[in-house]
Structure 1
């Protein structure tokens, strides 16, 4: 069962990304137990991978996203569709996310699970993510995924993490658009990693859409599906001018 990778936000914690069905965040383990719950991957520093917090269907949710200019964020359609009160945070810490920047516009691609957020004011964090124009991930390629999603066994993340992954072949995203299935090598996407980037050769080639299982637990080799950015490039140019 494929599940979207955004996640419901707990009362005291900002819980990042989702697989196909929103899932409620769970409490973190005691501090002395934390090391037992590392799902894999490693901490990352990338101010261009941002945190999104928003209201949707009466609940509060969070996703990851890619800053592709000072005014636009690339995300997943299941994070923008029917969403309101969207705020964007550029800190890599989930515990100290910093000052929010409100969204001025949300846009949904007609071709699958890709969305865009226009910010109410420009932000300059010194870097933006480079989008592919035509690359479609191929079976056997390796890449990197980044996001603020839950760690192993639903432990909330303290910040941005990244992992190496392997492309296993073509698939479909949550909205039926062209996607690539990936398998974790050093770590796997979890709830809250929705709309986080798949990066190959320095470019964003995919947007996190669904997971192959509702909850990967501690399986660092779990699979997920990333919407192919190349299939949406014309729409992104028409909407954001990028």
Structure 2
């Protein structure tokens, strides 16, 4: 079974995020030793638009990755908002010093796969925002970059945002049966905590992290499925104006 990418946060000081299984409502607890995040890869440069989402589902605290696409809107995965009772967005690339979060006042879910938008209760202006691709057709061999927060290999805590180089294998399916971009790690792979995090091709975000094919442990060549934004792109524009 594929694994989706959000995590349970244990305790107020816990800052790790994780993938959970496709079709599963639960997540592995932080510190369990089985919930690594981007494995391998490198520390990402300062990326103000790459945000942390901390939220409540079924009485537990979870975390995901998101992309601020305007002063009021954040893009993420649908499974990160499905059933939420509260969410805050943190504009820090540090998982140990997130600063003050901004509350979310509305959740919006695409009808085309594992894609969602959240609306901030208070605008946060950044100097620039990432570009979203108008469309993307998965092509085997395409080179891409993924980014996300959470644990490292074998459950070690990450101190911030990491990125990895990956290659496209072709098309696949995300956690909500939408079209996904199937990828494999080159120098690092996706895992717990990257849910909603971006896959970037040609300088544009073409999808968000949805599931992994299997628990990667310490493997840097794991396979994952990123919800393709193509079928949701008009909806994103209509909803957010982006």
Superposed counterparts of 1:1-242, under 5 Å: 1-11=1-11, 12-20=13-21, 21=24, 22-26=27-31, 39-44=39-44, 45-213=46-214, 215-242=215-242
Q: With the length of structure 2 as denominator, give the TM-score of the two structures.
A: 0.92
Q: Give ranges in structure 2 of 5+ residues lacking alignment.
A: none
In the superposition, the TM-score normalised over structure 1's length comes to 0.92
Counterpart CA distance in 2 for 1:19 and 1:198 is: 18
Whole-angstrom CA distance in 1 between matches of 2:32 and 2:97: 18
Deviation at 1:38, TM superposition (A): 9.1
Judged with a 3 Å threshold, the aligned counterparts in structure 2 of structure 1 residues 140 and 207 are, in CA distance, closer, same or farther, namely: same
Structure 1 position 76, deviation (Å): 0.3
CA distance in 2, matches of 1:216, 1:54: 25
Q: Distance in 1 between matches of 2:88 and 2:50?
A: 14
User: 1:74-98, CA deviations, whole angstroms, 9 ceiling, x for partnerless residues?
Assistant: 0000001111210000100000001
Taking the aligned partners of 1:212 and 1:185, their CA distance within structure 2 comes to 15
Q: Deviations over 1:187-223 (max 9, x none)?
A: 111101000000001100010000101x211000001
Task: Look up the SS of the partner of 2:31 in the other structure.
Answer: coil
Would the aligned equivalents of 1:9 and 1:61 in 2 still touch at CA under 8 Å? yes
* Cα distance in 1, alignment partners of residues 229 and 119 from structure 2: 18
Q: Which runs of 5+ in 1 are unaligned?
A: 29-36
How big is each residue's C-alpha offset from its partner over 1:85-123, in whole Å with a ceiling of 9 and x where there is no partner?
100001000000011001011111111100101111111
Secondary structure in 1 matching 2:189: coil
- Residue 33 of structure 1 corresponds to none
CA contact 2:143–2:168 (8 Å) conserved in 1: yes
Partner of 1:232, secondary structure, is helix
State the Cα RMSD in Å: 1.5
By how many angstroms is 1:138 displaced?
1.4
Moved over 6 A (4+): none
Count of residues paired in the alignment: 233
- Retained in 2: the 8 A contact 1:27–1:155? no
Q: 1:24 to 1:3 in 2, by over 3 A?
A: same
TM superposition shift of 1:14: 0.9
